[in-house]
Structure 1
Amino acid sequence: MSVKPIKKSHKLDNVCYDIRGPVMQKANQMEAEGARIIKLNIGNLAAFNFTVPEEMEQDLAKNLPNAAGYTDSKGIFGARKAIMHYTQQKRIKGVTLDDIIIGNGVSELIGFAMHALLNVGDEVLIPMPDYPLWTAATTLAGGTPVHYLCDEDNEWNPSIEDIKSKITSNTKAIVVINPNNPTGALYSDEILQQIVDIAREHNLVVMADEIYDRVLYDGHSHTSVASLADDVFFVTMNGLSKNYRACGYRAGWMVLSGAKESASGYIEGLVMLASMRLCANAPGQHTIQTALGGYQSIDDLVAPTGRLARQRDLAYQLISEIPGVSCVKPKAAMYLFPRLDPKVYPIEDDQSFVLEFLEKEKVLVVQGTGFNWHAHDHLRFVFLPIEDELREAIGRFAKFLKDYRERAVV
């Protein structure tokens, strides 16, 4: 008797996460066969010897004996209190303990945000390029992602005109990823205010992903979009993974602020989803208060002489020196999103392009379409490896592109 195949749900038909997609699977296979791969595909800081602050590790160990039971579904008191104080530093008004929900990383909370809000056919405005989990979560929740353009010629700031042109009667929310992944952009206050004005006019929820809000270079400062109004409803996401190099702690949070009265039904849905998963990872929660209140070692890393700043400068310089490659210098985060001039590099399929690069040069990057970019002319590079490894990886990229140019001419 033949066995009937078990297929995946149709809900996953248009869901993808190419950061850990087919090209990474090929890299894992190559590693299993003995190859050494330089991985520039994901912002996993621990893999590049960026360490968690020692005080956080000590508090994790100290509290571990008390972390076996379920916590409050919104999170432990001390952690939420510290997050509330942090919102005050960011000038977000009117946040109470009840307005904070701790999750297993921002990734879990993005799912909550979409499932609690969307009905089938509802639309969410998401930046292009995006962090692809936002698009995937919108689709999985039954909504329709609508991508608005971020303008490379304007330091990757969102195009306000494009946002306006894509609003319909079905639009329910707009996502703002600032600082931005994958471009490293830091949005201007003027642009943020215009987005708030649009949200007010069209009664949109503003979902702000601010996970990189301390990873800032060249003396730049970050404005939380939720600090710009109290008559628009904001859902602001943050966590420990990037600023505190604690990706595996799975400790993120969402903050609800602004026009909370008008969003009471939505908030009820968020609380319901938080209760259904019982609680977030308890050990990780016990490090939040220490992280937010302690010495901010990220400041040393992003200072002009700090490791992250030096590696950003080096990667940007080396990438920019390659013929036919241009890049907006990132003001924040830990990524470069360079453009390959289509006249020089006529790439028809950027996933095949990065796969060929991996196979020939043993360097793993992510194609621009993996971030829902509309053309096959961008790649994302992580600049977390030490400087010698960055030189090696980008040197291999330059060699690969030289060969590609020569083949393209022929």
Structure 2
Amino acid sequence: MYKQMKARGEDVVGFGAGEPDFPTPERIKAAGIAAIMGDHTRYTPASGLPSLKEAACLRLKLDCGVEYTPDQIVVASGAKHNVYIALMTLCNPGDEVVILAPYWVSYSEMVQQAGAVPVIVAATEAQQFKVSAAQLEAAITENTKVVMLNSPSNPTGMVYSREELQAIADVCVRRNVYVIADEIYCNLIYDDLEFVSFASLGEDVKERTILINGVSKSYAMTGWRVGYAAANKQIAKVMGNYLSHSTSAPSTVSQYAAIEALTGTQEDIDAMRLEFQERRDHLVERMNRIEGVSCLRPQGAFYVMMNMESFIGKEMYGQMIHDDVDFAKLFLEKGKVATVPCSSFAAPGYIRWSYATSMREIDKGLDRLEQFIKNA
């Protein structure tokens, strides 16, 4: 609906995009152009260029404190693709996959595509949207094969601490289950908070972990479609085999650009992170001053979860608000602001705002939120 309104020329503000609004850094674009001009346009090995796998190993060591060898790396068409391949590799029909919620909506859909059963374990706002080890333990059965964890989180922006991750890791090792740790936002952490990679918590943990990362969020390269997974050699080999019989590797040109992203200067990441932090601070401060809504201060990624539960069961603009979906739809129709209702993220009563947009647009959206609530 947002795109249709935009196409009609309506002045709609969008906060739904899960991608940086910055351009891909010039050095990375230049590497892609150089690959084209150098005729690096043929097939690569199905699981990615050896030099890109080496670059991924370097980045994982420097950013995440974990060491892998190139034969443990699988390059695919985005982090999302790697999550899917990991599930297809690990799951048999009837296996259970525990998903720590709130979670990115595609997780449960991909689990079902693999023939497995999603088991949703949700954390509340009082828990800072972080599932406890005790909750996880209670959800694991003899059929559990995998636990899915995303930190920093989409949609909450929250980051699991070392202690919280260690408690979860202890459960997973004791119950002998695999963990798909989606760490695609690992470089977008604020307030000098420590980022802890799940695989860094010990060899037993690392052996059971399929670590997911990529270049899309940190380097503003969403459309280049390059992600990578790191796993033990056996799992990595099977994931590579799956790729060879399905999509094969991502675009060769994109892979060369990704090598530059991972091995070149990281100053562009720092600049983007500082801008995101400034936007976050402004959005959170203003949103918490608006009557009827509130939000936690996210620690990473570029999302804010707005609590709008006070409007459930009330009438706005002649319509009853039954849930966050009703609120988001009405906000778009009457307020001309596009957001994402979080019921599909296992977080009913919340609306996700992405601050991967300009400060001007953030203020515009918040101004409209105030008027939308005031005039209801």
TM-score (norm 1): 0.85
Distance 1:36 1:342 in 2: 28
Read off the aligned partner of 2:244 and give its amino acid letter: S
Residue 257 of structure 2 corresponds to residue 287 of structure 1: yes
Instruction: Percent identity, please.
Output: 29
SS of equivalent residue, structure 1 residue 194: helix
Q: How many residues align structurally?
A: 364
Which of 378, 384, 389 is residue 356 of structure 2 equivalent to?
A: 384
**What is the CA-CA distance between 1:344 and the residue it aligns to?**
7.0
SS of equivalent residue, structure 1 residue 182: coil
**Deviation sequence 1:170-192 (CA, Å, 0-9, x none):** 11111110111111111100011
Distance 1:203 1:174 in 2: 11
Distance 1:40 1:133 in 2: 19
Distance 1:207 1:329 in 2: 26
**Deviation sequence 1:342-389 (CA, Å, 0-9, x none):** 37765413222211111112111000112122x3x1000011221121
- More off after superposition, 154-163 vs 351-360: 154-163
Structure 1 match to 2:47: 74
Distance 2:93 2:258 in 1: 36
Is the CA contact (8 Å cut-off) linking 1:236 and 1:255 kept in structure 2? yes
CA-based RMSD of the aligned residues comes to: 1.6
Residue 212 of structure 2 corresponds to residue 249 of structure 1: no
Structure 1 match to 2:270: 299
Structure 1 match to 2:66: 92
Which of 153, 178, 183 is residue 205 of structure 1 equivalent to?
A: 178
**Deviation sequence 1:194-226 (CA, Å, 0-9, x none):** 111111011111111111111111111211010
Structure 1 match to 2:309: 341
Distance 1:146 1:128 in 2: 10
Which of 48, 52, 55 is residue 24 of structure 2 equivalent to?
A: 52
Which of 92, 97, 103 is residue 130 of structure 1 equivalent to?
A: 103
Distance 2:41 2:106 in 1: 30
Residue 277 of structure 2 corresponds to residue 312 of structure 1: no
Structure 2 match to 1:14: none
SS of equivalent residue, structure 2 residue 310: coil
Read off the aligned partner of 1:394 and give its amino acid letter: L
**Deviation sequence 1:88-121 (CA, Å, 0-9, x none):** 222224x211100101101111111111121222
Residue 326 of structure 2 corresponds to residue 326 of structure 1: no
**What is the CA-CA distance between 1:401 and the residue it aligns to?**
2.2
SS of equivalent residue, structure 2 residue 204: coil
Distance 2:312 2:57 in 1: 51
**What is the CA-CA distance between 1:289 and the residue it aligns to?**
2.1
Structure 2, gaps ≥5 residues long? 315-320
Distance 2:302 2:365 in 1: 16
**What is the CA-CA distance between 1:301 and the residue it aligns to?**
2.6
Distance 1:268 1:302 in 2: 34
**What is the CA-CA distance between 1:267 and the residue it aligns to?**
4.3
Structure 2 match to 1:195: 168
Distance 1:122-1:96 versus aligned 2 partners, 3 A rule: same
**What is the CA-CA distance between 1:271 and the residue it aligns to?**
2.1
Which of 239, 258, 261 is residue 270 of structure 1 equivalent to?
A: 239
Structure 2 match to 1:43: 18
Is the CA contact (8 Å cut-off) linking 2:292 and 2:308 kept in structure 1? yes
**What is the CA-CA distance between 1:245 and the residue it aligns to?**
0.6
Distance 1:254-1:318 versus aligned 2 partners, 3 A rule: same
SS of equivalent residue, structure 1 residue 231: helix
Distance 1:203 1:161 in 2: 16
Structure 1 match to 2:317: none
Which of 318, 321, 331 is residue 357 of structure 1 equivalent to?
A: 331
TM-score (norm 2): 0.92
Read off the aligned partner of 2:43 and give its amino acid letter: Y
Is the CA contact (8 Å cut-off) linking 1:151 and 1:159 kept in structure 2? no
